[in-house]
Amino acid sequence: MRPGVIIGAEGRRRLVAGAAGMARILAPTLGPKPRTVLVGPVISVREPEVLDHGATIARRVYELGDRTENLGAMLVRHVALRMFERVGDGTATAAVLAAHLLAEADRLLAAGLPAREIGDGVRRAGGQAAAALAGAAWQLGTRAGLAAFVAGILPEPGPAAIVAEVVDSLPEDGAILIEDSAAAETSHEYVDGMRWDGGWLPPF
């Protein structure tokens, strides 16, 4: 075996370990009430960051100490960021599922199952999962239906009604931005067109 080339079970084991490590980093951000992850700075003069956004955390992870484990971690990182680019969310879910799939594939390979059959099985299972999700989805055609759906997510009726009203009033290409506020009550604002927080000209 050439230096730096790892094949067989040992290589798979380290890839799976790196994938699991990346999934553990992102897993605390799962769910509607995520926990935070403390990320140390690359440049020592900067302060550590306390983050609860999976995509941001994934971007902060540059490299693991072990080069082979780092390959597995970067593979899961790529899956997570691709998910974020496509749908805007789901980075932690994608990372946890990808790491679990790799671990199960490693177990099946060790048991003697051909890699091609494992890949075919994953593709078939993905199609079945997508079909099941499509069958469970339901259209929010009316404001009342949307309000009922949002009310199931938000425990307070006030914010649920505001979200339903905002979504119902937006055009198809509209966007919603939700921001934290120090105010005691929930409010909303409609902005027509585009708006920048800063100017285009350099300060000098």
Q: Which residues contact 93 (CB under 8 A, 6 or more apart)?
A: 30, 83
Query: Tens digit of pLDDT for each residue in 164-202?
Result: 777 777 776 777 777 777 777 777 777 777 767 666 777
- Of the listed ranges 3-12, 16-25, 142-151, 177-186, the one predicted with least confidence: 142-151
Cβ within 8 Å of residue 159, ≥6 positions away: 150, 186
pLDDT in tens, 130-157: 999 999 887 766 666 666 676 666 666 6
**Residue keyed to tokens 């899961």:** 76
CA 197 to chain centre: 26
Q: Please say if the pLDDT value at position 61 is more than 70.
A: yes
Helix (H, G, I), strand (E, B) or coil at 51: strand
Rounded (5°) CA angle 104-107-113: 105
Per the listing, tokens 């099985």 go with 121
Please state the φ and ψ torsions of residue 197, each to the nearest 5 degrees: -75, -25
Task: Tell me what pLDDT residue 140 has.
Answer: 65
DSSP class of residue 48 equals: P
Here the tokens at position 137 are 């989805």
Burial of 184 (0-12, 13-18, 19+ CB in 10 A): exposed
Q: 8 is written with which tokens?
A: 């067989």
